[in-house]
Structure 1
């Protein structure tokens, strides 16, 4: 293999109460003028005030942009940039799920750049920007530990993948207590998103020894705890395990890459406004079943890590158990098909060619064990529709 290129946050604090240490982390980094980037729900539930209060208690002045939106768009990023450019800020503190964190990342890199954000999507690499301190409140995207952000182009509805060291937070405060209020659907969808991150990183053509161990550990924890976290939202053991696994999944895919699931997921989100984790969940069983024969040993090992297959099972048997187990997981967590979600059938089928084109353009499918052509992706979208 070629040399693995590993990038991680400079500071990573993990555990109950980690978010309260934000002022100390800023001091450690030599930062003094943060802009808090969050969303209306974080304000409503009091989490934004908790962070700004911790900063105020340490005599750290803090501005606030609280209008980040789910599945951030270039328009919503531009609103944040108006606030950022109007103040003398030296960093951003991102509080929320992947959408708030990705909004802050995009603001951090675009504040010093001209032109539309589409000029900076993959394959461009953006390696500079203001420092971002990420405080995730969902156990899913792993954005607190990745050098990537996904932003929807407001003009074209394309979900753009943007990458580079400029998108890597300098610090991440991973506090599972912030996830105790997550509702069932969000817990399920972000949890399966994390599972996709870990599984895709493990089977990716860019997998490496560093990410392999992290990915397997994350897969094991997620499959063991996701049902409990959904059914028992106050279960601290399950919530802590899911939160750590989400960060590990982010580390794994950021340093190995996602594959076909994520490549096909972004167009569904961009065109039909399906939440990112849910669109991944819709795709997970079918895309995995299509891919397993081209990385038999890896997928079989993943099945064993998730306790879907026994240690003594032949790889061929483990592959069948993996496909069956992922379908059962979706059933247990009530993951809808695109049709059940309410997407119009004619619009779905009329969009197949465009979705396949956008999926391939993201670059992620090229890292899949079985590399698809556009026609393969169209067939997979049709199978996912049929359920």
Structure 2
């Protein structure tokens, strides 16, 4: 028997952010902490002022917190909790990327249960937390629909990513206007990250009938919409589709797990300070090839979802699923952008550390083929080889 967990309410559409006050009132929130990315509060966006007016209409007291940057840490959480306690909040909202939503999840939890140990979160039957609303400004992490939060322990220097169904936001608001100003390259990084979530959820050993439907729909939507928003970021209907694809992919992997591309990508990103979506994207086609022979029928369905002719041979379709992703990496400058962060000799020299970090990450055991250390070593060596080829072409 399988269960699937997702937000209680998903509101989607142009200017749907205007419903944030009504959503907060529905959750019986009277004092709301809004965790918002700093750039959203600056000219000409001024979303703090706009949201303040939306929420005040419902007679809700609102406080904003944006004292964070980069990936979320325990220091950011401590600062958010300090503001939350001072303002005696009874609800949390996030407006921003995955970092904002992760800090919001942690704040909602630790405000209600300050004695909770990080290591104990996944072991609880249920968690006490404040009502939680998530408004993503990127179509990639899917955090608005997931049970996972990623926070770096500053003292230990490790990423903690506990998962629990009670961490899923109560309400997700998907407003494509908020993603329309996302730069072209970050549109690509986050979009391929969403696609990776869906692909890995579909080939995960924990996949089930429900997660398969969310994953395949996400792949289909992203396949037609990502190239559009990459070339025309102001295309609101396509931006809306990408938000939906990201949320569906989030539901899929939150219930079925990501796999080797994320385990290895997190290690790569942490070592070289690469944007998460980019670190995952450069590895995705290599990881797909590693698992191809174990689940050709699954990869064939991915190719069909991405637009290939269903009448072709399964093995031909499976191979084409990789070719399509490789073309995305070419078209979206993924390989070239990776070279802006990775010095190839450093990559070669750090492979042992990368292998160790990847093996310690989530997603290894749900891979169709559980990789050994030598498998992951070969994966990173293949990445070195690929990037060397790209570098050689770039220099011609």
TM-score class, shorter: over 0.9
CA distance in 2, matches of 1:384, 1:48: 42
Distance 2:172 2:341 in 1: 36
Q: What is the distance in 2 between the residues matched to 1:156 and 1:150?
A: 14
Say if 1:73 and 1:348 are closer, same or farther in 2 by CA, change over 3 A: farther
1:24 deviates by 0.9
Q: CA deviation at 1:122?
A: 6.4
Q: 1:31 aligns with which of 29, 52, 55?
A: 29
1:287 aligned to 2:287?
yes
Deviations 1:199-219 (CA, angstroms, capped at 9, x unpaired): 111111111111111111110
Partner of 1:359: 358
Question: How do residues 123-272 of structure 1 correspond to structure 2 at under 5 angstroms?
Answer: 127-272=127-272
Aligned length: 383
Deviations 1:103-160 (A, max 9, x none): 111222233234874x357688873322210011111111101100112232344332
SS at match of 2:29: coil
CA distance 1:152–1:21, change in 2 (3 Å): same
The residue matched to 2:334 in structure 1 has which SS?
Answer: coil
Q: 1:125 to 1:377 in 2, by over 3 A?
A: farther
| Matches of 1:293 and 1:121, distance apart in 2 | 36
Task: Supply the distance in 1 between the matched residues of 2:193 and 2:223 (Cα, whole angstroms).
Answer: 12
Taking only aligned residues, the RMSD between alpha carbons, in angstroms, comes to: 2.0
Q: Secondary structure at the match of 2:130?
A: coil
User: In 2, Cα distance between the equivalents of 1:271 and 1:154?
Assistant: 15
Q: How big is the shift at 1:67? A: 1.7
CA separation in 1, counterparts of 2:124 and 2:185?
34
**Structure 2 portions without partners, runs of 5+:** 387-396
Where structure 1 has 5 or more consecutive residues not aligned to the other structure, the ranges are: none
Confirm or deny that 1:97 pairs with 2:97: yes
TM-score w.r.t. the length of structure 2 is: 0.91
SS at match of 2:150: strand
Between the aligned partners of 1:121 and 1:233, the Cα distance in structure 2 is 39
Give, in whole Å, the separation in 2 of the partners of 1:287 and 1:110: 36
- Which among 6, 23, 42 is matched to residue 4 of structure 2? 6
Q: How far apart, CA to CA, are the structure 1 residues paired with 2:361 and 2:63?
A: 34
Which 4+ residue blocks in structure 1 deviate beyond 4 angstroms? 120-126
Matched with 1:20 is 18
For 1:126 and 1:275, the matched residues in 2 are separated by 33
Contact preservation (8 Å) 1:122, 1:362? no
